[in-house]
With several copies, the nearest count.
Chain A
Amino acid sequence: MNAISQLGFDVTRIRRDFPILSEKIRGKDLVFLDSGASAQKPVVVMEAMLHAMQHQYANVHRGLHWMSERTTEAYEETRDSIARLLNAADRSEIVFTHNSTEAFNLVAHSFGRGVLKPGQAVVVSEMEHHANLVPWQMLRDAHGVELRIAPITDAGELDMAGLESLLGDGKVGLVSITHMSNVLGTYTPAERIVKLAHAYGAKVMLDGSQAVVHRAVDVQALDVDFYTFTGHKLYGPTGIGALYGKRELLDSMPPFMGGGDMIGSVTYQKSTWAETPHKFEAGTPAILEGIGLNAAIKYVEAIGYPAIAAHETALTEHALARLSSIDGVNLFGRAQDRGGVISFTLDGAHAHDVATLLDRQGIAVRAGHHCAEPLMHRLGVQSTARASFGVYTTLEEIDALADTLVRVREFFQ
């Protein structure tokens, strides 16, 4: 079986959709293994944004003229696409944000200050991105909500018993956990988390920033209360993301930011708010980015999650096999259920130095704490290098990484 059929779809064809992949870095072919930080963009995304700027653009929701109406339709169609992607019950449950970070801040502010009471608690896990930690710390410090940390096992999986013991006193109002770790690749058992939390009366928010890139998500099947992802990791433009929230929850929350488009009526004494989801969308939205994200979602849907997931599994298994066979390479995370993100260190070389040497050969990996400092403490390291995969990643690129790592080790010996 050759590499391509092994991957479940025609990666050569897919790579043609991403012109950047034929760039040279310092004379070497680009091997882009940093999609977990931000994915490259297919031509259809560029074309959608370009088309809008060339042919059909105006501010949305406000104009009564043709350009504004058509632009509003194009932008609002993205809400339908996101609702379809996540299988939301209703399009009004999709709130546009600028990224997942804003979604967490929105929920920390509107649900955290507006619905949670001082004395209640929020639970996050030991493997959260700072986006799903710092907003809760700020809520804790401003609003007197306790912050609890659910442990992970040494394999890098969520410790479900540990989580349950944090829920025991019934004070927890929200459990906010990643759906897929950006460091360990771990998928968390979302359905079980939701069932458990609901049994103790807590709502659940899942961080789908990584997960939605690799697997189909069904918020109704999960029965999750809030779900977020960020467009630029899903092959879409920067500046756009989404928050899913159950309608009755969103309805119960005060707005986050104030301004145009989120109001019902305004007088100096008192303003009223627009309906969900608009009350959470203040100001001119990321119109062009919404239009670009729609193209990205359709692109992902056209490939299909089964093929994407199969591809990811093949890449991940290959990478784990190749990297673990290199002397001095340490891999982090051994979760049963894991995706295409692999963190590692190399004995005798700091992750930064490793990244710089790889970069010299055109291989882009990330090195650092990956916006997950407390997890680094838990793992007993300051930083790791991380390779992460996209739909366009090939087995050959993983081989290039492995082969070059052998040389890096020699360089630092």
Chain B
Amino acid sequence: MFEDLRDLYQEVILDRGRKPHHGRRLETFDAQAKGDNPMCGDRVTVFLRRDDGRVQELGFEARGCAISVASADLMADAVIGHTPDEIRAMAESFVDMARTGVSDDAALETLRPLAGVHDYPSRVKCATLPWAALQAALDGAAEGVATSE
């Protein structure tokens, strides 16, 4: 019945959505920020620990759908070890991929399973919300962000 949804809900998304690897508040962290999707009430709070100018650890607390949780979790995998500038570039590429469905940015390899959201405009935000929160954390925003676009 839902064959065609497999492009959106790939196995890794269902898995990570159900049992994320990084779904916890860090014990010690240097920055945190939350992202809200006011349309649906979803919220992701990101905690990060930096060292040597690089993100060493990232955890998150999320209330949200499989897409947003999986996206947060894959994001954590992807950004650990990277500098804020690298992460900002990655975030930009990612948002672009979520909207268009394609990307030639090699850095996004492990994030590619999320490209399927582009077919479901209202779900694009689910995938990009954790990235918005992460950027706010990097920018030191206290209040966090509400994505409404």
| CA–CA, A42 and B147, complex, Å | 35
Q: Tell me the smallest distance from the CB of B147 to a CB of chain A, in Å.
A: 8
With a CB–CB cut-off of 8 A, which chain B residues contact A272? 143, 146
- Bound-state CA distance A263–B39 (Å) is 9
Expressed in whole angstroms, the minimum distance between the Cβ of B6 and any Cβ of chain A is: 10
Contact A361/B1 with A272-B146, A278-B148, A369-B40 known, Cβ cut-off 8 Å? yes
Interface pair B2/A275, CB less than 8 Å apart: no
**Given A274-B146, A278-B148, A412-B14, do A352 and B123 touch, yes or no (CB 8 Å)?**
yes
- Say yes or no for A252: interface residue by CB 8 A criterion: no
Residues of B close to A383: CB separation below 8 A: 40-42
Closest chain B residue to A354 by CB distance?
B65
Supplied contacts A350-B66, A356-B120, 4 more A-B pairs, CB within 8 Å: A265-B41, A350-B64, A357-B2, A369-B40
Q: Kindly state whether residue A349 has any CB partner on chain B within 8 Å.
A: yes
B122 lies within 8 A of A64 (CB): yes
A63 surroundings in chain B (CB, below 8 A): 122
Q: How many residues of A contact B (CB 8 A)?
A: 40
Q: A275-B148, A368-B41 in contact; A265/B67 too (CB < 8 A)?
A: no
Q: Of B9, B42, B147, B149, which is within 8 A of A411 by CB? A: B9
CB contact between A265 and one of B1, B8, B146 (< 8 Å): that residue: B146
Residue of B nearest to A265 (CB): B36
Given contacts A275-B146, A352-B65, whether A411 and B2 have CB atoms under 8 Å apart is yes
Inter-chain contact B5/A360, CB cutoff 8 Å: yes
- B52 an interface residue at 8 Å Cβ cutoff? no
Give CA–CA (A407, B5) in the complex, Å.
Answer: 13
B121 touches A69 (CB 8 A): yes
Q: Which of these, A61, A64, A274, A356, contacts B5 with CB under 8 Å?
A: A356
Whether a CB of chain B sits under 8 angstroms from the CB of A24 is no
A-B contact pairs, 23 of them (CB 8 A): A61-B39, A63-B122, A64-B40, A69-B121, A73-B121, A264-B36, A264-B146, A265-B146, A274-B146, A275-B147, A350-B17, A350-B64, A350-B65, A350-B66, A351-B65, A352-B65, A352-B67, A356-B8, A356-B120, A360-B2, A369-B40, A369-B41, A382-B41
Contacts of B147 in A (CB 8 A): 275
Query: Is the beta-carbon distance between B122 and A360 smaller than 8 angstroms?
Result: no
Contacts of A273 in B (CB 8 A): 146
* Residue of B whose beta carbon sits closest to that of A266: B38
| Chain A nearest Cβ from B2, distance in angstroms | 5
Task: Indicate if B4 sits at the interface (CB-CB under 8 A).
Answer: yes
- Please name all residues of chain B whose beta carbon is closer than 8 Å to the beta carbon of A192 when the two chains form the complex: none
For the complex, what is the distance from the CA of A41 to the CA of B50, rounded to whole Å? 55
B46 close to A (CB within 8 Å): no
Within 8 A of B (CB), among A239-284: 263-265, 272-275, 278
Which residues from A are CB-within-8-Å of B17?
350, 353
Chain B 1-44 interface mask (CB, 8 Å, partner A; 1/0)? 11011001100001001100000000000000000101111110
Partner of A367, one of B1, B8, B40: B40
Which partner residue on chain A sits nearest B4 by CB separation?
A: A360
> In the bound complex, do residue A352 and residue B40 qualify as a contact, i.e. CB atoms below 8 Å apart?
yes
With most chain A CB atoms within 10 A of its CB, the pick from B5, B8, B39, B67 is B39
Q: How far is the CA of A63 from the CA of B41 in the complex (A)?
A: 13
Q: Mark A20-53, 1 if CB is under 8 A from B, else 0.
A: 0000001000000000000000000000000000
